[in-house]
A and B are shown apart, each in its own frame.
Chain A
Amino acid sequence: MKIIRWSGLIAFVVIVGLITLFNVLFLDNIIKVVVEDRASIALGARLDIGDLRFSLLGLHVVIRDLQVASPEQPTHNVVEVGALALDLAALPLLKKKFVVQRMKVVDLAWDTPRQTSGVLPPRLQKRHRKALDAGIKARKGLEDCVLPDFSIFEELKEGVPEDLLADTTLPSAVFLSAHRQEVSEARASWDQRLAHLPTKKEIETALVALKDLKDKRPKEAAELPGYLEKVKAAQQELVNIRKGLIEARRDFQKEIKTLRNSLKGARKLKGEDFKAVWAQLDIRVPTAGDLICVLLGKDLAIKVNRTIAWYRRLNRFITPRGETEEAKTRPAPRLKGTDVRFPITGGYPKFLLEVAEFSALPAAETGSERFAFAHLSGELQGLTPQPALYGKPTVFRFKGDLVGERPGELALFGELDHRKTPTDDRIDLTIKDFNLERSGESNTGQPSLLLTSAFLDVDGSLQITDEKLDGQARVSVREANVEVGSEAGLLADLFKNLGPFEVNLSIGGTLDQPVIGLTSSATRTLSAPLQRIFRTKQKELRRTLKRAINARINRKLSVANDEVDAYERRILDELSSRLALANPVSQEHGKEKKPSKN
């Protein structure tokens, strides 16, 4: 039997040949689609490549019109690249290592508009893992600093609205309400007591009974002692009624006096009322530091945070993790398994970008919140996830000239040394004469205080040792123009003659929890006038509030007094009328008067 089937070999060669031919013919497109998909998944926004050419023989790749959409703003590109060319090393490829010997990126542009949406297509959205560091913010809240609400000073000029006092739990109102309750309870108690005291009818019955007794005086002397005894008892009953009524009247007068006296206490609560209203208004007086934070510190802190977020991504890339351990803990996708990584023992790392050169597209725009470069070029060396194997630190340096009448300069330098632990990284940034210009409708959404234009010089450095941050940035501000919104109108004069000042940011904490502090030379200049403005305004406001509280208490007291008067009148009238009926003198007078009337 023949072992070899030559026709099979030919079929195999044809199959492999067809596959190879297909790859050669469509390799550019295959690579393009793979790169687009993988990068889009990693970035969380679309990455589009206009054209990709791959030369298999020279291992040379040229990419044109590369656009990276912004995940936050899909109508814009974070970055756009005119052309990108790279040379791959052949020998490392045999070991599945991607070594980019030289990369050249030209016509870089930032924040350019897109013609199509940059949202990740649904098929890729499922595979995209959100960046872990998206939500990390620095402590001390510089990014969130806002001006307190000053509008109350203007609103209360016209007077204190009744609603404000009504909405506040005023001690005097509580007191008067309690007093009212007390009066009401006393009234109920006296109504009850009056019901228990002898009524007019009972008094009259007692009087009639006495009178009848007196009229039926016995003629026999023997019956006289018994009769006198009965008269005495009837008289005693009347005396007791009278005594009870007199005692009740005395008690009531005493009680009403106490109630009246306690009402006076409401006047003493004016001060407490004022404190309650003041607390309710929650007037926070901004410090000069707050103003500087809103003007510049907030934006600087946001930029520092973004830089740290970018560094975190880079740091994750260049610091290899324990892949073997990860493979053990990570659940394996069905029918796909898990790739276990082993150490690279020699030669090139798994991935290496030896040298990359960058140059930006010159911008025509002048004066903006963003950097517009007349010229920008830079270099990145030794980017690899295995720096110890490569043996050199990752270094990047960029230098550029800014567009403008007074062209500024930018220089950025970084050295990330992850060859051994602790890692030792440093990033330096110098900017000279950056012409900042922005309009009132800026991204903050609160245009109450806005640094609309200024010239900035920045000198910053950040040292990162392992996870620990240590850095500072000095920003010198010249020719600053500040736009004060209507809500913060009372600060308008404060910034009229604002001279040059410095803002210093200190960066500390760790990569996971950065801490950004702010100091400024302008706080000294602004503090005294700011305090003066607010002292005057607060004084005015206090006066207005006190007046309103006084008027309110007087009004309420008058109502309460009227209520007590009415109550007193009702009870005293009732008691007096009963007493008058039970009083023998008045009875006698009545007796005497009645016939005369008739």
Chain B
Amino acid sequence: MVQYIVKFIRMMNSDRDPRQISLGFALGMVLGLTPITSLHNLLVLLAILFFRVNIGAAILSWMVFSGVAFAVDPLFHRFGLFLLTDVKALHGFWTTLYNAPLVPYTRFNNTIVLGSLIFSLFAFYPVYLGGRVVVVKYRETFLEHLKRWKIVQGFTASSLYR
């Protein structure tokens, strides 16, 4: 895991495509915000491993958003409950899903699973775009500045980083 984080830092400091980092970060966010045992997370995991996204960014993002999820799960519950029970227009749709093959195993009818998944899906593209902007800005403005720091120089010279 440390290796992946180091890779992530190395990638941040390189001129590699910033989309790989931001996509990894966005996918990690979905993993972190939604309950890990949900079936859709198998697809997210598949996407992280199968596509060339930065695994370090995904791990970092997963860790950060797991902490966030712990704090906001009551909000996800209320949001999920609202979607599942209060929006009458969706009732038929949920009922169809509930009676469809395999879908019940996704636990979509769980308030936190649905609330957090819908929120993550809406947040996915903004997080992806925002991540990309942050990486570009970081490289343009902060990287040169950081490189002058002794601690950074020491870290980049270490065998761990190389």
Q: A95-B99, A95-B104 are in contact. Are A340 and B50 (CB under 8 A)?
A: no
Q: A332-B112, A339-B109 are in contact. Are A344 and B99 (CB under 8 A)?
A: yes
- Cβ contacts under 8 Å, A340 to chain B: 81, 84-85, 94, 109-111
A1 touching B85, Cβ below 8 Å: no
Pick from B74, B80, B95: contact of A345, CB under 8 Å: B95
Pick from B45, B52, B85: contact of A328, CB under 8 Å: B85
- Which of the four size classes fits the interface of chain B? 35 or more
Contact digits for A4-31, partner B, Cβ 8 Å, 1 yes 0 no: 1100110110011000000000000000
The distance in angstroms between the C-alpha atoms of A94 and B100, with both chains bound, is 8
A335 in contact (CB, < 8 A): yes
The distance in angstroms between the C-alpha atoms of A9 and B46, with both chains bound, is 7
The distance in angstroms between the C-alpha atoms of A341 and B108, with both chains bound, is 11
Min CB gap B88→A, angstroms = 11
- Residue contacts A-B, CB under 8 angstroms, 26 given: A2-B52, A4-B50, A4-B51, A4-B52, A5-B51, A8-B49, A8-B50, A12-B45, A12-B49, A12-B50, A95-B102, A324-B84, A327-B84, A328-B81, A334-B74, A336-B110, A337-B73, A337-B111, A339-B107, A339-B110, A340-B109, A340-B111, A341-B109, A342-B98, A343-B95, A345-B95
Where chain A touches its partner, the secondary structure class is loop
5 closest cross-chain pairs (CB), A and B: A337-B112, A8-B49, A96-B104, A342-B98, A337-B111
Min CB gap B107→A, angstroms = 7
Known: A340-B94, A343-B95, A347-B99. 10 other contacts (CB 8 A): A8-B51, A11-B49, A95-B102, A332-B74, A332-B77, A334-B73, A335-B70, A337-B80, A337-B113, A342-B99
A342 touching B95, Cβ below 8 Å: yes
Q: Which residues of A316-332 have CB atoms within 8 Å of chain B's CB atoms?
A: 324, 327-328, 332
A222 in contact (CB, < 8 A): no
- Cβ contacts under 8 Å, A4 to chain B: 50-52
B46 touching A327, Cβ below 8 Å: no
- Cβ contacts under 8 Å, A338 to chain B: 77, 81, 110-111
Contact digits for A81-95, partner B, Cβ 8 Å, 1 yes 0 no: 000000000000011
Q: Which residues of A341-377 have CB atoms within 8 Å of chain B's CB atoms?
A: 341-347
Min CB gap A340→B, angstroms = 4
Min CB gap B35→A, angstroms = 7
A195 in contact (CB, < 8 A): no
A566 in contact (CB, < 8 A): no
A5 touching B52, Cβ below 8 Å: yes
- List residues of chain A with CB under 8 Å of any chain B CB: 1-5, 8-9, 11-12, 15-16, 94-96, 324, 327-328, 332, 334-347
Q: Which residue of chain B lies nearest to A92 when distances are taken between CB atoms in the complex?
A: B101
The distance in angstroms between the C-alpha atoms of A393 and B35, with both chains bound, is 39
Q: Which residue of chain B lies nearest to A342 when distances are taken between CB atoms in the complex?
A: B98
- Cβ contacts under 8 Å, B146 to chain A: none
Q: Which residue of chain A lies nearest to B70 when distances are taken between CB atoms in the complex?
A: A335
B17 in contact (CB, < 8 A): yes
The distance in angstroms between the C-alpha atoms of A134 and B81, with both chains bound, is 33
- Cβ contacts under 8 Å, B70 to chain A: 335
Q: Which residue of chain A lies nearest to B109 when distances are taken between CB atoms in the complex?
A: A340
B77 touching A337, Cβ below 8 Å: yes
The distance in angstroms between the C-alpha atoms of A11 and B99, with both chains bound, is 33
B143 in contact (CB, < 8 A): no
Q: A3-B52, A12-B50, A324-B85 are in contact. Are A336 and B112 (CB under 8 A)?
A: yes
- Cβ contacts under 8 Å, A344 to chain B: 98-99
- Cβ contacts under 8 Å, B80 to chain A: 337
Q: A95-B104, A328-B81, A340-B111 are in contact. Are A346 and B49 (CB under 8 A)?
A: no
- Cβ contacts under 8 Å, A12 to chain B: 45-46, 49-50
B50 touching A5, Cβ below 8 Å: yes
The distance in angstroms between the C-alpha atoms of A337 and B80, with both chains bound, is 9
The distance in angstroms between the C-alpha atoms of A2 and B53, with both chains bound, is 11
- Cβ contacts under 8 Å, A327 to chain B: 81, 84-85, 111
